[in-house]
Chain A
Amino acid sequence: MPKHTFKVNGRQVTVDIEDDTRLLWVLRDVLGITGPKYGCGINVCKACTSHINGKAFNPCSVPVSKIGPDDEITTIEGLPATVGKDLHPMQEAWIDRDVPQCGYCQPGQIMAAVDKVREVKHKGGTITDEDIDEIRNMCACGTYFRIREAIKQGAEGM
């Protein structure tokens, strides 16, 4: 079986698995990294959103063979370390606003929010309602209003 080597949350890993196995299953079912959630498996719900080299992506829709040895994957578990703290400012805002209900979509929401804020900041702007409107992450508990407030608050700390 082919071997695949890459970095997850600062740790070098090697897995023996078929080339076309989507990364979400490698993370969850093989490596036991269960923060990224399954909500659809077809790049729609965004519950699995994680970062590759600092940018948001959806591991349910990426064959593991597309991940190279130099690629750095960050899941929700590894997000605090990217700022060298126990919690990322976005997670702190999520706690402060008591965002989660069932919580299932929230790892993906937070990873998407961090990416969106980075993108907006990179362009020299501040996050607006219109930016948030573009986030595709689904939440069946309907926590959207609190997410909206938390993103604005979290962005201030980023």
Chain B
Amino acid sequence: MAGQHRSGEPGRPKTGDMGRRRFLGYLIAAPTLAVGVKLGEAGFDPEPAVAEAGLPSVLPEVQEVYDLSDLLLDSTRPTANLITVVVNEDGTVSFAMPRSENGQGVTTMAAMLIAEEMDIPVEDVKVEPADARPELLFNQQTQGSNTAITMYTPIRVAAALARGRLLEAAAIKLGDEATNLRTRAGRVISKAGSSIPFAELAAEAASTETREALTQLKPREEYTVIGTEQRRDDIVAAVTGQKTYTTDIDFPEALPTMIARPPTIKGTVESVNNLDQVKNMPGVSDVVTISTDASPRTGPSPSGVAVRARTFGHCIEAIRALDITWGPGSVDGESDESILRQIRDAQAPFNAPSPTPLDQAAGEVPLVTEPLGNVGPTEAIEEEFVFYWRSNAAMEPNVAVADVREDSAEVWTPTQVPIWTQQQVAEELGLPVGKVTVHVMRGGGGFGRRLFNEAPLEAVRVSKQTGKPVRLMWHRADECRAGRAHPMCTSRIRATYSKSLGKVVSFEQRHTGVSTDYTEVFGEMLTSNAARLPFSNELSVSQSVFYLTVNVPYDFGGIVLGYNEIFAFDKFATGSVRNLNNADVRPAQELMVDRLAAKLGKDRLEFRLAHLEEGRAKRVLEKVRDAGEWGRELPKGVAQGVAVHEEYKGVMAVLAEVDARPRTANRQIRGATTGPRVTRVTMAVDVGLPINPLGLRAQLEGGIMTGISHVFTGSLHLRDGNFQEASWDDYRYTRHWNAPPEVNIIVIPPEGERIGGAGEFAVGASTAAVASAYAAASKTMPTTFPIGHEKGLPFTVKSFEPPVPPSPKDGLRAYPAPSAAKGAFNPAR
């Protein structure tokens, strides 16, 4: 580096910073101050990942040493290019964030990090999702709750560099030493009391050449922004209707477009029998047959008929008028019952307490912790839990705006994987990647839904065929039936215990389900990291994800975890849904923990406390015990349940109360799914350093609502090769009438600088605690989820041909809603 200038660290206190790390970034030649950081280089975790510290001699479960966050972090290390922070001439700071914003609050978080380092008001930092940038490779995906973890240091380094440059520029102006200056509220201030706003320094601080520079970060003790409660950056726009989502963009030529989809999953179009008639319908501009496949250039057979028209209303009318002869789908004739039979046929046998290293029966590698030793006579409990299909649909359906030209294409979509979207679109169109622009829109909910490119691929196919720009949106019915589903699965647990020792001796869990489609992104990442994983690199991706995300937080002697699946990844349209496997695995575990406590004559919470391996876990459990008043007197039919969960480098405990008394469960709200009510939830969470506790709690509250849905109501019913649901009254996610009136989330104050993720964290734990409370309140342990699933269809199934329901005419009165004509449905009855 000889001869290269490296900016020092003016204006930062020198006390106790002998050991403080310096971070490398870049000053970028630009008219106004711009700095860049390589995500990988500057982004080293302040604490080394546990995996790097070497593996303990007795193999703990994989998740404990190397969880999905580590994997995402490692995958982001070697490949990154620069992310840049720009100081504008009006003194505001801009950052194009290589992440999607679907409501998780990551742009707000980034603004806070920049505001912290630069000493400017959070409102003066403008963060927007960046367009697809192929040079960032895996640094642009938003999944696995990794955003806070991977972006924390790089963003701060960039901001600190920018601040340093502003101080240097001010020093020249003031004829002072940079070390005598400090920054506050968007100004540089000298000891003598003069001050210059950043706005007046932005141009002078700009670099004329792009070069390396070193900086240090603000020490923890001086934080004034990180760890404080900040509202969402787009909140005013969101509550005034000004927030722009994909279908709102001002592009009049991009006409509304919808697709008629097959009546069975992955069906095909054989013929369109009245094409001319529909083309001549009012408002219709184009009708074309296209592929709806999630991969580019696959399958010769078209699978949908797209209608482009003046309004989406015209699209709906045209789709309903289309006469299409459909070919078979991939799972015609299959139903919940037939799939459950096939899953059960594939289940691996229990073999603790002496598992073989490779479980040949199912071709899976069970993870084994420690030898069991001789403990004398034991008793066993055993159970199978069934989890039905769940939709991960967001409120905003799948959407994309596309404008395909002869030699280029432009796409707007709320993708969670912009680079992948860009690559797939380029491949589909036969264009070089550089000729495809992907604008990442703020989205109306992610939950793993936007890790797949159906919408942008469909949009470019229609735009290419018609030669016109399109504004593509899925109908709600499409979301339920053609959307991605969390695969149906079973989780079987067998636990042995010694009454004489008062101990659990072994805990074995065998998870079997329909395969999960991880091809989009996880696939490549895991392959490139497989060698680093402390087990065979021949595991399938799904198994890897399972072992990386799943663990048993309790010391239960020998722990055995096994995972296997049926079908090729694309037989059904599946995908990773909020909290991956833990939404199934954890409730099954915690219900069995309740039973073990009962068998050993222990209080359910104290039993957990006695068996927790980790101090942080014990602490959050004690918190909810006290704040949630564990064991308080409750009427018969009302009960508490509890769960502890470790994931994404965080730990949490949840205490839920469920009222299952008949008068509550049978309460009448027209057209509602009532049933047992979660009345109170107390959660304590330790994520290390919570950057924005207000945003963190929002994510956790959302996870609780999803957990409630998982236990009681939210599922898809598979019959005759398709899902029966087609609306939010059919697919019963938590609604106001199910939401707990009391929620108390305790965020453990910051410790260290270890950042945990939050987006998915609460789902599995909340599902487990609510299930545990319901079991206690109803005195029956539920074994199928959601509990209402097998009670039939509490709705009238909407037509499959045509594939979208008619638009009603009765909307002049919202309340009571005409759609709520039926009485309430109690899933527990």
Report A's interface with B, CB cutoff 8 A: 17-18, 20-26, 28-30, 32, 34-47, 49, 52, 55-63, 66, 75-77, 80, 87, 91, 94-95, 98-107, 110, 112, 115-116, 119, 129, 132-148
Q: In whole Å, how far is A19's beta carbon from the nearest beta carbon of chain B?
A: 10
B53 in contact (CB, < 8 A): no
Which of B446, B736, B812 touches A136 (beta carbons < 8 Å)? B736
CB <8 Å contact, B733 and A116: no
Contact A18/B736 with A34-B241, A38-B247 known, Cβ cut-off 8 Å: no
Contact A95/B231 with A62-B809, A104-B444 known, Cβ cut-off 8 Å: yes
Which of A29, A59, A77, A101 touches B811 (beta carbons < 8 Å)? A59
Q: In whole Å, how far is B396's beta carbon from the nearest beta carbon of chain A?
A: 5
* A133-B669 Cα distance, complex, nearest whole Å: 8
Q: In whole Å, how far is A26's beta carbon from the nearest beta carbon of chain B?
A: 7
Closest to B281 in A: A18
CB <8 Å contact, B235 and A95: yes
CB <8 Å contact, A43 and B808: yes
B702 in contact (CB, < 8 A): yes
CB <8 Å contact, A144 and B475: no
Contact A95/B445 with A133-B737, A145-B739 known, Cβ cut-off 8 Å: no
CB <8 Å contact, A21 and B727: no
B232 in contact (CB, < 8 A): yes
CB contacts (< 8 Å) of B443 on chain A: these are 102
CB <8 Å contact, B741 and A57: no
* A26-B256 Cα distance, complex, nearest whole Å: 12
B312 in contact (CB, < 8 A): yes
CB <8 Å contact, A143 and B702: yes
CB <8 Å contact, A141 and B103: yes
CB <8 Å contact, B817 and A136: yes
Within 8 A of A (CB), among B273-326: 282-283, 310-314, 316-317
CB <8 Å contact, A136 and B256: no
CB contacts (< 8 Å) of B813 on chain A: these are 55, 57
CB <8 Å contact, B241 and A25: no
* A60-B705 Cα distance, complex, nearest whole Å: 26
Q: In whole Å, how far is A149's beta carbon from the nearest beta carbon of chain B?
A: 9
CB contacts (< 8 Å) of B737 on chain A: these are 133-134
CB contacts (< 8 Å) of A134 on chain B: these are 669, 736-737, 815-816
Q: In whole Å, how far is A79's beta carbon from the nearest beta carbon of chain B?
A: 8
B406 in contact (CB, < 8 A): no
With a 10 A CB-CB cut-off, give which of B240, B245, B312, B727 has the most chain A CB atoms.
B240
Top 10 nearest A-B pairs (CB, nearest first) are: A35-B241, A61-B811, A142-B705, A102-B103, A104-B444, A103-B238, A144-B739, A101-B103, A142-B702, A25-B311
Q: In whole Å, how far is A25's beta carbon from the nearest beta carbon of chain B?
A: 4
* A46-B808 Cα distance, complex, nearest whole Å: 13
* A45-B477 Cα distance, complex, nearest whole Å: 12
* A46-B237 Cα distance, complex, nearest whole Å: 19
* A145-B447 Cα distance, complex, nearest whole Å: 19
* A146-B702 Cα distance, complex, nearest whole Å: 10
Q: In whole Å, how far is B726's beta carbon from the nearest beta carbon of chain A?
A: 9
CB contacts (< 8 Å) of B245 on chain A: these are 34, 37, 104
CB <8 Å contact, A22 and B313: yes
CB <8 Å contact, B473 and A98: no
CB contacts (< 8 Å) of A25 on chain B: these are 256, 311-314
B253-264 interface bits toward A, Cβ cutoff 8 Å, 1 = contact, 0 = none: 000100000000
CB contacts (< 8 Å) of A138 on chain B: these are 395, 728, 733, 735
* A17-B282 Cα distance, complex, nearest whole Å: 9
* A20-B737 Cα distance, complex, nearest whole Å: 33
CB <8 Å contact, B241 and A107: yes
B75-114 interface bits toward A, Cβ cutoff 8 Å, 1 = contact, 0 = none: 0000000000000000000000000001111000000000
B794 in contact (CB, < 8 A): no
B655-684 interface bits toward A, Cβ cutoff 8 Å, 1 = contact, 0 = none: 000000000000001011000000000000
CB <8 Å contact, A37 and B809: no
Which of A29, A37, A98 touches B698 (beta carbons < 8 Å)? A98
Q: In whole Å, how far is A74's beta carbon from the nearest beta carbon of chain B?
A: 11
CB contacts (< 8 Å) of B317 on chain A: these are 20
CB <8 Å contact, A137 and B736: yes
B729 in contact (CB, < 8 A): yes
CB <8 Å contact, B739 and A66: no
Q: In whole Å, how far is B815's beta carbon from the nearest beta carbon of chain A?
A: 6
Contact A38/B312 with A91-B240, A102-B445, A104-B394 known, Cβ cut-off 8 Å: yes
B820 in contact (CB, < 8 A): yes
B810 in contact (CB, < 8 A): yes
CB <8 Å contact, A42 and B701: no
CB <8 Å contact, B313 and A110: no
* A145-B702 Cα distance, complex, nearest whole Å: 9
CB contacts (< 8 Å) of A34 on chain B: these are 241, 244-245, 247-248
* A143-B247 Cα distance, complex, nearest whole Å: 23
Which of A36, A58, A110, A145 touches B814 (beta carbons < 8 Å)? A58
CB contacts (< 8 Å) of B812 on chain A: these are 52, 57, 62, 66
Q: In whole Å, how far is B225's beta carbon from the nearest beta carbon of chain A?
A: 16
CB <8 Å contact, A103 and B103: yes
CB <8 Å contact, B728 and A39: yes
CB contacts (< 8 Å) of B740 on chain A: these are 145
Name 24 interchain pairs, CB-CB below 8 A, sorted by A.
Answer: A17-B310, A25-B312, A28-B248, A38-B247, A38-B397, A40-B727, A41-B807, A42-B806, A42-B807, A91-B239, A95-B236, A100-B235, A101-B103, A101-B232, A102-B443, A103-B238, A136-B814, A138-B735, A140-B393, A141-B445, A142-B701, A143-B698, A144-B734, A148-B741
CB <8 Å contact, A145 and B743: yes
Q: In whole Å, how far is A84's beta carbon from the nearest beta carbon of chain B?
A: 15
CB contacts (< 8 Å) of A132 on chain B: these are 736
| Given A36-B241, A42-B476, A104-B103, 10 additional A-B pairs, CB 8 A | A18-B282, A34-B247, A40-B727, A43-B818, A76-B239, A101-B104, A134-B737, A139-B705, A140-B733, A143-B702
Which of A30, A36, A57, A87 touches B311 (beta carbons < 8 Å)? A30
CB <8 Å contact, A129 and B241: no
CB <8 Å contact, A105 and B395: yes
CB contacts (< 8 Å) of B482 on chain A: these are none
CB <8 Å contact, A32 and B807: no
* A136-B814 Cα distance, complex, nearest whole Å: 9
* A49-B813 Cα distance, complex, nearest whole Å: 10
Contact A60/B444 with A40-B476, A40-B728 known, Cβ cut-off 8 Å: no
* A116-B816 Cα distance, complex, nearest whole Å: 11
B409 in contact (CB, < 8 A): no
CB <8 Å contact, B811 and A60: yes
Q: In whole Å, how far is A106's beta carbon from the nearest beta carbon of chain B?
A: 6
CB <8 Å contact, A56 and B814: yes
CB <8 Å contact, A76 and B241: yes
* A46-B650 Cα distance, complex, nearest whole Å: 36
* A99-B234 Cα distance, complex, nearest whole Å: 11
